Amino acid sequence: MSLPTTREWQIAVGGLIVLIGVALVPFFGSGYVLSLTVNIAMYTVLCTAWAMFSGPTHYISLATAAFFGIGTYAVGLGLETLPFPVLVLVAGACAAALAAVVGIATLRLSGVYFVIFTLGLAELVKQVVTWWQTNFTTSVGLYVFTDFREQHILWMLLGLAALVFITSWAISRSKLGFAMRIIGNDETVAKHVGIDTARAKVLLFVISGAFIGMVGAILAPRFAYVEPPSAFNTMISFQVVIMALLGGTNRIWGPLVGVIPFTILMDQMTAYFPNHTPIVIGLAFLAIVYVLPHGVTGLMADLGKLRKRFKLVAANAGEGA
Amino acid sequence: MNHVLSVAGATKKFGGLVAVNEVSFDINEGELIGLIGPNGSGKTTLLNLISGALKPTSGNISLNGALISGQPAHKIARQGISRTFQLVKVLPGLTARENVIAGAVFGHTHVWGDEAEELAESLLEKVGLSDRGDSPTGAMTYIDQKRLELARALAGNPSVLLLDEWLAGLNPSELKIGISLIRDLRNEGLTIIMVEHVMDAIRSLCDRCVVMSSGVKIADGEVNQVLADPEVVRAYLGDADA
Ligand SMILES: Nc1ncnc2c1ncn2[C@@H]1O[C@H](COP(=O)(O)OP(=O)(O)OP(=O)(O)O)[C@@H](O)[C@H]1O
Ligand SMILES: [Mg+2]
């Protein structure tokens, strides 16, 4: 509505310092630390983009793998003809287009149907791509040869992270963000004050999907060889949901709080118990639903409120005595 | 023919139940009409048809001569119909000020930023909530929530305001405040339909009232005349017997 507040400036400066710090990791950290950092950066963008839509609407989207895979394939298919930065934008546009179609078709449905549909979507797109490749091209996969190394991927992800945070912040201050808060509170009221709720939700889904598609594009060089099962990996969708909910979606930086520990945990799990990752994901999901329904940041906010109330009670008691 | 709102043959069926059956009436600019009738007679359903919460099974509703029935609620709101709900609906995650601003951004009025804040402040004052702008709304008392809901409806600068039992559940002193608030709105020239069970309020506020029974309009006219109508008396007594 107006200029950023002092607090917002402080957060922005703090964020920038962290970003620069992380960008320096390739110069100091080992290969292992770098690759872990890339994973964290990747999930940070994915989860923040996911929360942009799912936070205010409370719709659980499992379409992340679909948007991500579309982005990866955009790079795989276009690498010979277009420069990489353009391909990232194309990837975003393709994912946005898919999000628009899916959103228009499904966002009138209730939450449960939406979850199932988005889960099916990633599988559907994967099958379509596989079918198309086996019938119309010579191989099932695509080679993605670039000069990009891990550090370049990291820097691109950090740039995208900055963009996704700024976008989230701008939306939260815009009419669209205000509309989403009203929808999240009471959809009937939202409609009766003149909000086109379907349009607002689709718009947000599109913006969120575009960012996820761009992440897929940036990660494509890391795969070197892109196949449908790796590009459209449903596991990504579930991990994003868990990390974002673990951190909490009530604050822009909430998902980040979940991303860091969970990425490290998953990394350790795949290293030592590669066959048990689904169990961890399942348990984490239950733990979040039952213990931390509003995520870590939600818990912190609740504790803060509790402390305030406690102080108030103590003060009143003191006065009374 | 300067009817602000025309309802012509409005009908709503829920399966076999005809909740609103061929109801017709017109409202002139600045009129305050009471919509009364026993429980379950279809009053809320009729308001839902007007506000677009429900689509009529048949019949037409028009606002200032333009057809609105069949349109989604957000489009109808943008053309100037605001409402409150029988079960009060405030936005609990928003402050009182934001609740009011919500009514002024997307609908019949489009203000944003400082202008919206000022509008919200003046409306909060009007409904008796001055200096409460920053209050969280979940913990407000019932009458304050009702006031807030009214302020939000007014923020859209409506051509027609629909009040669904806005006075219900208030204690006698609150009722006096509520009645005088609605009277002020009428004196400012606002066109209002109020669904109400509080007969004193209907008598003291309305020029005219429409009576429904089992989905059908059974009377329409000057308040005292309508309330003395044998059919209306029977509808109410029948209800009391049941
Ligand atoms: N969404 C719905 N689905 C099915 N039946 C409904 C629905 N809404 C209302 N009804 C039925 O329609 C009839 C009219 O209900 P309505 O709420 O309009 O009555 P009312 O006059 O507002 O009553 P009250 O004074 O108790 O508020 C009732 O029999 C009710 O059960
Ligand atoms: Mg009712």
Q: Please list the pLDDT of chain B residue by residue as tens digits (242 residues).
A: 579 999 999 999 999 999 999 999 999 999 999 999 999 999 999 999 999 999 999 999 999 999 999 999 999 999 999 999 999 999 999 999 999 999 999 988 889 989 999 999 999 999 999 888 888 898 899 999 999 999 999 999 999 999 999 999 888 998 999 999 999 999 999 999 999 998 889 999 998 999 999 999 999 999 999 988 888 888 887 655 44
Question: What CATH architecture applies to the domain B1-71+197-242?
Answer: 3-Layer(aba) Sandwich (3.40)
Q: Which tokens sit at B227?
A: 């309330």
Q: Do A194 and B78 touch (CB under 8 A)?
A: yes
A158 part of contact set with chain B, CB < 8 Å? no
What residues in B contact A197, CB-CB < 8 Å?
74
* Residue A143 pLDDT > 90: no
Burial B185-224 (b: 16+ CB within 10 A, else e): bbeeebbbbbbbebeebbeebbebbbbbbbbbbbbbeebe
Give the pLDDT confidence of A91-111 residue by residue, as tens digits.
999 999 999 999 888 877 777
Look up tokens 């305001």; give the residue.
Answer: B161
Chain B: residue whose CA lies nearest to A56: B93
Instruction: Please report the pLDDT score of residue B14 as a whole number.
Output: 95
Instruction: Please report the pLDDT score of residue A319 as a whole number.
Output: 56
Instruction: Please report the pLDDT score of residue B8 as a whole number.
Output: 95
With the most atoms of ligand 1 within 8 angstroms of its CB, the residue from B11, B13, B41, B193 to mutate is B41
Write the single-letter amino acid at A223. Answer: F
d(CA A260, CA A262): 6
Q: Do A194 and B51 touch (CB under 8 A)?
A: no
Instruction: Please report the pLDDT score of residue A141 as a whole number.
Output: 75
Instruction: Please report the pLDDT score of residue B242 as a whole number.
Output: 42
Provide the β-strand partners of residue B164: B195
Chain A: residue whose CA lies nearest to B138: A185
Burial A10-19 (b: 16+ CB within 10 A, else e): ebeeebeeee
Instruction: Please report the pLDDT score of residue B11 as a whole number.
Output: 96
Q: Which of B91, B112, B114 sits opposite A189 (nearest CB)?
A: B91
Number of residues in chain A: 321
Higher local confidence (pLDDT), B46 or A115 = B46
In order, the DSSP letters of B162-228 are: EEESTTTT--HHHHHHHHHHHHHHHHTT-EEEEE-S-HHHHHHH-SEEEEEETTEEEEEEEHHHHHH
Helices (H), chain B: 43-51, 73-78, 96-105, 114-126, 142-155, 172-187, 199-205, 223-228, 230-241
Residue B163 phi/psi, 5-degree rounding, is: -115, 120
Dihedral (Cα; A171, A173, A179, A181), 10-degree rounding:
100
Question: Among A101-105, A143-147, A233-237, B208-212, which stretch is predicted with the lowest mean pLDDT?
Answer: A143-147
Instruction: Please report the pLDDT score of residue A321 as a whole number.
Output: 43
Instruction: Please report the pLDDT score of residue A38 as a whole number.
Output: 95
Chain B: residue whose CA lies nearest to A250: B93
Ligand 1 atom 28: residue of nearest CA: B40
* Residue A58 pLDDT > 90: no
Distance between start and end Cα atoms, chain A:
46
pLDDT bin (cut points 50, 70, 90) of residue A48 is very high
Instruction: Please report the pLDDT score of residue B202 as a whole number.
Output: 92
With the most atoms of ligand 1 within 8 angstroms of its CB, the residue from B14, B21, B87 to mutate is B14
Provide the β-strand partners of residue B174: none
Instruction: Please report the pLDDT score of residue A317 as a whole number.
Output: 65
Higher local confidence (pLDDT), A311 or B215 = B215
d(CA A290, CA B50): 42
B37 touches ligand 1 (CB under 6 Å):
yes
A179 part of contact set with chain B, CB < 8 Å? yes
Instruction: Please report the pLDDT score of residue B241 as a whole number.
Output: 46
d(CA A202, CA A53): 9
Mean pLDDT within A226-251: 88
Residue A35 phi/psi, 5-degree rounding, is: -70, -35
Provide the β-strand partners of residue B10: B23
Residue B190 phi/psi, 5-degree rounding, is: -70, 140
Ligand 1 atom 19: residue of nearest CA: B40
CB B207, CB B223: distance < 8 Å: yes
| Number of Cβ within a 10 Å radius of residue A319 | 7
Instruction: Please report the pLDDT score of residue A314 as a whole number.
Output: 67
**Minimal C-alpha gap between B206 and chain A (Å):** 25
In order, the DSSP letters of A47-63 are: HHHHHHHHHHH------
Q: Is B146 in a helix, a strand, or coil?
A: helix
Mean pLDDT within A114-130: 89
Instruction: Please report the pLDDT score of residue B145 as a whole number.
Output: 94
Q: Do A194 and B74 touch (CB under 8 A)?
A: yes
Q: Mean of the per-residue pLDDT values for chain A? A: 87
| Dihedral of alpha carbons B158, B164, B165, B170, sign | negative
d(CA A93, CA B111): 32
